[in-house]
Amino acid sequence: MKNIDKKTVEDFGEEWSQYNQNISEDELKIAWNQYFEIFPFEELNNESEGFDMGCGSGRWAKFVANDVKTLNCIDPSEKALNIAKKNLINFSNIKYFQASVNDNVLKDNSQDFGYSLGVLHHIPDTQQGINACAKLLKKDAPFLLYCYYNFENRPYFFKPLWLVTDQLRKMFSPLSFRKKVVIASIMSYLIYFPIARFALICEKIGINVSNFPLADYRKKSFYFMKTDALDRFGTRLEKRFSKDEIRTMLKNAGFKDIVFSESEPFWVSISRKT
């Protein structure tokens, strides 16, 4: 079973071709830290081998590859992998596989670590995707996972706001990619940018903005906003999970010692294969 949605894969291939993440390394590193702050890098060494499941443009791989012997970048989109190869051209220890999470391109119990960030909520069967990642890992190997949250830790108004945007996503996502880029850019100008910068101003005058919508973008570039707006409004298949649902899926896949980051983005978790 491929466990992919073909149209979603095609859309992400187009997205990474449009927004190849050729931006300042400092800005990328700040975003990378949001995901990897709970990852046990002290356990990696020059003999470690791991995987980036759903590598996309390779934007996170560039900060991991230097710490390991081999990093296996896996993505079902040929276009995405071509962008990743260009972005990671200076690394000789990265292998590339055009495959889905369930394609078994690596040996079972062979990987010292793995991560999948913002990917497994875009496939038909998220539980099977997590199971497939678990099969690849050695005993006690760490696994970093990011899946979209369902707002259970947010004020009441977040869920209705999301329901509105989700209806827009369902309306816009079947359109041609070119039209979706235009719509996402408009959304970025009219919604993301003004709200995020308002949150930044409020923060500078001493207001706690942790529960402001889009506050996570307050210090991010407009490029980041356009990329994420295209994700938000252009993706055909999207799922959201509570912390408990993610914990249950990880346990079902054979993971233990599950810990969630309490910082944005939600939910990022680190766990170990039993």
Domain ranges of the chain: 6-150+240-273, 158-234
Predicted confidence at residue 119, as pLDDT, reads 97
Residue 219 C-alpha from the chain's centroid = 19
Look at residue 107 in the predicted model and tell me its pLDDT.
98
pLDDT number for residue 67? 95
The per-residue pLDDT for 19 is 82
Give the CATH number of domain 6-150+240-273; options: 3.40.50.150, 3.30.465.10, 3.40.50.450, 3.40.50.1370.
Answer: 3.40.50.150
Whether the pTM exceeds 0.85: the reply is yes
According to the model, what pLDDT value does residue 1 have? Answer: 57
Q: Which residues of the chain, if any, have pLDDT below 70?
A: 1
pLDDT of residue 267: 97
